[in-house]
A and B are shown apart, each in its own frame.
Chain A
Amino acid sequence: MISIPGIEFFTTLIFYIIIFLIITLSYNLAYGYSGIPDFGRAMAAGAGGFLCGYLPGRLMAYILGIRGDYLSNVYVIVDKVNMTLESNPPLSMGLLILTLILGACAGGLIGLLASLPILRGMRIFYLGVTLLAFQVGFNTIMYHYRPILRGELGVPIPDPFRWLMHYRILGLSPGITRSFGLIAAAGIVLLIIAYYCISVGRSPLGRVLKAIRDDEVAAATLGRDIRRIYIKVMVVSYAITGIAGALYAFYQGYVVGLHFDKIDWTFWPIAMVILGGLANNRGTFLGTITFIVLRRLIIFYKSDLEFILPFSPIWLESLLLGVILILLLIYRPRGLLPERPEIPLSREEIEGIRRKVGA
């Protein structure tokens, strides 16, 4: 019998779409528009997520007057913090907003540090591999250095959405109401980020980024400070991804250095952007939604296919996604919605100008 998805399937699906849209939009800004080959994206998400594991719990413990070693008693302390947050929605929302802002700052700071090699003259071509190495080092430190997240043990995170569990929407369970709250918060963040990224794409700045991507030397001859622009893009793009990392950490309620690995947080977002089409925000939306929906459906239905598959369905997800990506690169190498030439003015506007000048 074929399984039917529960409401949790859809809340998880929508949340993942939102989180990865935030990441792919920011990645598109760095790679699609600016041509920065960034293999360190997981580091930016990790900066936000790990900050979420470090700061809100300690801050709330301090506010509540809970003293003693935070990490030794982290479960008990976070449970106490959650009880306070549950009865105080304004405090919960304040904590959420503060953490997201600081998550963006942490991501931006990591972006600045990661782009230092550009300042020292490293060619952009080599930056990708350097960032991959940075990311592995960053995660290794987070996974093994105890004072931040208890090293290999990880830490629970206070839940700023728990107060929503007192409400029931359409008779749904309190957990679902909480998920709706998370989705709403992440959705608002996505709207702001999408507006920003689309605006940049349509603005003169977007065309400058594309010009730099297509020919650094030509753009430099027109007076553009290429390195400075690269660094700005890296900082902004990483800051956006940092917010996504923080939101994801709140969603999971627990964080350890193993989270935000390079497969899920660097390579899959790259695949999503390539699937949709580079330097095309509509393509990024389409690629991300298609990829996430496909992935979640494969995960959901794989056990139903157990009886007809000649191998364990555990491997189905990686196999199918790999095959789809290979086929896509063969038949549509520029993605589902390829980049189109930028026309700043519509044909009618150009015609109007022509008539006005009498040409």
Chain B
Amino acid sequence: MSKGALAALLLIIFVAGIGAGYALNMIAPVGGSAKGLTGEVKIGVLVDLSGALTTYGEDIKAAYEVAEEDVNAFLEQAGSKWRIKLIYEDTASSPDVALKKFESLLGRGIKIMLGPMMSPQCASLRSSAQSNDVLLISPSATAVTLSIPNDNLFRFCAVDDLQGPAIASTIYSSGIGYVISVFISNEWGVGLNTSVTEKFISLGGKVLKYIPWSPDTIEFSPVVESINSAIQDAKQNGISLDKIGVFIAAYRQILPIFVAASKYPDLSKVRWFGTDGTVMIPELVDPKGHPTETSFAASVKFTSTMYKIPKTRAYEHVKRKVLEKLGREPTIYAYGAYDSVWVVALSLAAVNEYDSMKVKKVLPIVAANYYGATGNILLNKNGDLAKADYSLWRPVKVGGKMKWEEVGVYYCSTDSVEWKEGYKP
């Protein structure tokens, strides 16, 4: 066979493949027939199983798995002809990878996706999701800039216009009047820096310095050096160290930052405040494996915020199941992830067809009437959690053992912080 004929044959096979694929697709859409769900209903999952958000990603994946089992058991009991099937893709804590994995899931005809986890990932997918009628439900993307009405992104977590005031009030109520804002330069970090510092200034505080760092930073010595130099300048201006706080918006980068910061004596004499990105990181309560990080976190009373949820029956169920799977308690976002699977499944049952835009319409109503691991899920016009209180977490020694302890609560309705006994500033 000549090469030209071979090329032509390959092209014919390719075109025939397209036709066959399309025909098969018409026979067996992703969620059964056009009307009435049957068989496996595929739901995509974009989750970070590598990179900076691995810890959260593992928790969230475990929660999705628990939810999938629970939902399918429920559907079986109800005598339904369909089951949900979650298809996982590792988005590697990267917006670029998330976009490729989104495409891969879309190629399977999947129009309902759980995730992605990070705000920059949501930002990179938003347009494509909009153009392809894909519904996204993120368990943990909190950037304010993504609060846009009528788009296809729902967020089952409190966003940063709620978290920013919580952090600022926590810092201010700790007797801190001057803050150095250190933040990762992505959608989430930049938004959080804005909402924290604006609120802090409105409370009467002053921002000494803004220190952004690039998301691809590996070596943090220059960042830590900048923090130290800001503190030295403040000292020279007569500001005492107990009036200075460091607000830091980071993920697991907090670990190398703490290692680098431990070399500067003054950095362990000021208070440090984190976010939902740093709360519950196991290495910060692991004195054997990570002595430097643990000791630094304890010495600076490192306090991080995480939105507070009621301890419902479903909450306890998810906590126990994830503990069995991973050997540790999940972070708070895992509970929202669990709920998102249930809300999607119930919405699908309500519309009884695999139509992402119909699911989008009923989802806020279903969420508001559902009571799951995070209680009622009231969404605002932007598809984000409408209101939230925040727990304040800190690594402390309890009974000779380091653990993350809830040391206070920020109440959004009264805009005030209530410290627990023994942890008052």
Interface residues of A (CB under 8 A from B): 1, 3-10, 12-14, 75-76, 79, 143-144, 151-154, 156-157, 159, 161-162, 165, 173-175, 178-179, 252-254, 256, 258-259, 261, 282, 285-286, 289-290, 293, 296, 299-300, 303, 314, 336-337
Cα separation A5 to B17 with both chains bound (whole Å): 10
A157 to chain B, nearest CB (A): 7
Is A154 within 8 A of B18, CB to CB? no
Is B7 within 8 A of A286, CB to CB? yes
B131, B133, B186, B190: the one contacting A162 at CB < 8 Å is B131
B134 to chain A, nearest CB (A): 8
Find chain A residues with CB under 8 A from B89 CB: 303
Assuming A152-B185, A153-B190, A254-B127, is B25 touching A7 (CB within 8 A)? yes
Interface string of B1-25 (1 = CB under 8 A from A): 0011001001100100010011011
Cα separation A334 to B52 with both chains bound (whole Å): 42
A319 to chain B, nearest CB (A): 15
Q: Taking the complex as formed, is B106 at the interface, i.e. its CB lies under 8 A from any CB of chain A?
A: yes
Cα separation A175 to B89 with both chains bound (whole Å): 22
Find chain B residues with CB under 8 A from A5 CB: 21, 24-25, 107-109
Assuming A153-B186, A154-B123, A286-B10, is B132 touching A175 (CB within 8 A)? yes
Assuming A6-B109, A253-B127, is B186 touching A175 (CB within 8 A)? no
Find chain A residues with CB under 8 A from B4 CB: 282
Is A7 within 8 A of B148, CB to CB? no
Cα separation A153 to B40 with both chains bound (whole Å): 37
B7, B14, B134, B215: the one contacting A152 at CB < 8 Å is B215
Is B215 within 8 A of A254, CB to CB? no
Is B106 within 8 A of A8, CB to CB? yes
Find chain A residues with CB under 8 A from B109 CB: 5-9
Q: Taking the complex as formed, is B145 at the interface, i.e. its CB lies under 8 A from any CB of chain A?
A: yes
B95 to chain A, nearest CB (A): 6
- B39 closest partner in A (C-beta): A1
Is B96 within 8 A of A261, CB to CB? yes
Instruction: Among A12, A13, A153, find the residue whose CB has the most chain B CB atoms closer than 10 A.
Output: A153
Is A253 within 8 A of B131, CB to CB? yes
Find chain A residues with CB under 8 A from B25 CB: 4-7
Find chain A residues with CB under 8 A from B24 CB: 4-5
Is B107 within 8 A of A6, CB to CB? yes
Is B106 within 8 A of A252, CB to CB? no
A260 to chain B, nearest CB (A): 10
- B355 closest partner in A (C-beta): A173
Q: Taking the complex as formed, is B99 at the interface, i.e. its CB lies under 8 A from any CB of chain A?
A: yes
Is A289 within 8 A of B21, CB to CB? no
Is A175 within 8 A of B131, CB to CB? yes
Instruction: Among A9, A10, A178, A290, find the residue whose CB has the most chain B CB atoms closer than 10 A.
Output: A9
Is A152 within 8 A of B186, CB to CB? yes
Is B186 within 8 A of A289, CB to CB? no
Is B90 within 8 A of A314, CB to CB? yes
Cα separation A303 to B3 with both chains bound (whole Å): 34
B14 to chain A, nearest CB (A): 7
Is B96 within 8 A of A157, CB to CB? no
Interface string of B359-376 (1 = CB under 8 A from A): 000000000000000000
Cα separation A254 to B98 with both chains bound (whole Å): 12
Find chain B residues with CB under 8 A from A165 CB: 131
Contacts A5-B109, A289-B14, A337-B3 aside, 18 further interface pairs with beta carbons under 8 A come to A6-B107, A7-B22, A7-B25, A8-B107, A8-B132, A9-B109, A14-B18, A76-B148, A143-B214, A161-B131, A178-B132, A252-B128, A254-B124, A256-B120, A258-B94, A282-B4, A290-B10, A299-B104
Find chain B residues with CB under 8 A from A144 CB: 214
Is A159 within 8 A of B131, CB to CB? yes
Q: Taking the complex as formed, is B339 at the interface, i.e. its CB lies under 8 A from any CB of chain A?
A: no
Q: Taking the complex as formed, is B130 at the interface, i.e. its CB lies under 8 A from any CB of chain A?
A: yes
- B3 closest partner in A (C-beta): A337
Find chain B residues with CB under 8 A from A254 CB: 99, 123-128
Assuming A173-B133, A300-B104, is B145 touching A259 (CB within 8 A)? no
- A82 closest partner in B (C-beta): B130
Is A153 within 8 A of B120, CB to CB? yes
Is B148 within 8 A of A75, CB to CB? yes
Cβ-closest 3 pairs across A and B: A6-B109, A253-B127, A9-B107
Grouping DSSP codes into helix (H, G, I), strand (E, B) and loop, the A interface class, with mixed when no group exceeds half, is helix
- B105 closest partner in A (C-beta): A8
Find chain A residues with CB under 8 A from B185 CB: 151-153
Find chain B residues with CB under 8 A from A173 CB: 132-133
Of residues 86 to 114 in B, which have CB atoms within 8 Å of A's CB atoms?
87-90, 94-96, 99, 103-104, 106-110
B10, B108, B124, B145: the one contacting A256 at CB < 8 Å is B124
B3, B14, B125, B132: the one contacting A293 at CB < 8 Å is B14
Is A252 within 8 A of B99, CB to CB? yes
B274 to chain A, nearest CB (A): 20
A3 to chain B, nearest CB (A): 6
Can you list 8 pairs linking A and B with CB atoms under 8 Å apart?
A: A8-B108, A156-B126, A156-B127, A256-B96, A286-B7, A290-B10, A303-B89, A314-B90
Find chain B residues with CB under 8 A from A256 CB: 95-96, 120, 124
Cα separation A336 to B151 with both chains bound (whole Å): 46
Is A9 within 8 A of B124, CB to CB? no
Assuming A75-B145, A76-B148, A153-B186, is B127 touching A9 (CB within 8 A)? no
Instruction: Among A13, A165, A253, A282, find the residue whose CB has the most chain B CB atoms closer than 10 A.
Output: A253
B184 to chain A, nearest CB (A): 8
Find chain A residues with CB under 8 A from B29 CB: 6
Q: Taking the complex as formed, is B146 at the interface, i.e. its CB lies under 8 A from any CB of chain A?
A: yes
Find chain B residues with CB under 8 A from A285 CB: 7
- A157 closest partner in B (C-beta): B127
Find chain A residues with CB under 8 A from B128 CB: 252-254
Cα separation A9 to B145 with both chains bound (whole Å): 31
- B90 closest partner in A (C-beta): A314
Cα separation A256 to B120 with both chains bound (whole Å): 10
Cα separation A3 to B87 with both chains bound (whole Å): 11
Is A296 within 8 A of B107, CB to CB? yes
A149 to chain B, nearest CB (A): 12
Assuming A154-B123, A286-B7, is B96 touching A258 (CB within 8 A)? yes
Is A12 within 8 A of B123, CB to CB? no
Q: Taking the complex as formed, is B28 at the interface, i.e. its CB lies under 8 A from any CB of chain A?
A: yes
Cα separation A143 to B186 with both chains bound (whole Å): 11
Cα separation A174 to B29 with both chains bound (whole Å): 16
Interface string of B131-148 (1 = CB under 8 A from A): 111100000000001101
- B19 closest partner in A (C-beta): A10
Is B214 within 8 A of A79, CB to CB? no
Cα separation A256 to B126 with both chains bound (whole Å): 13
Find chain A residues with CB under 8 A from B3 CB: 336-337
Cα separation A151 to B96 with both chains bound (whole Å): 14
Cα separation A113 to B185 with both chains bound (whole Å): 30
Find chain A residues with CB under 8 A from B131 CB: 159, 161-162, 165, 175, 178, 253
Is B107 within 8 A of A300, CB to CB? yes
A4, A175, A299, A336: the one contacting B21 at CB < 8 Å is A4
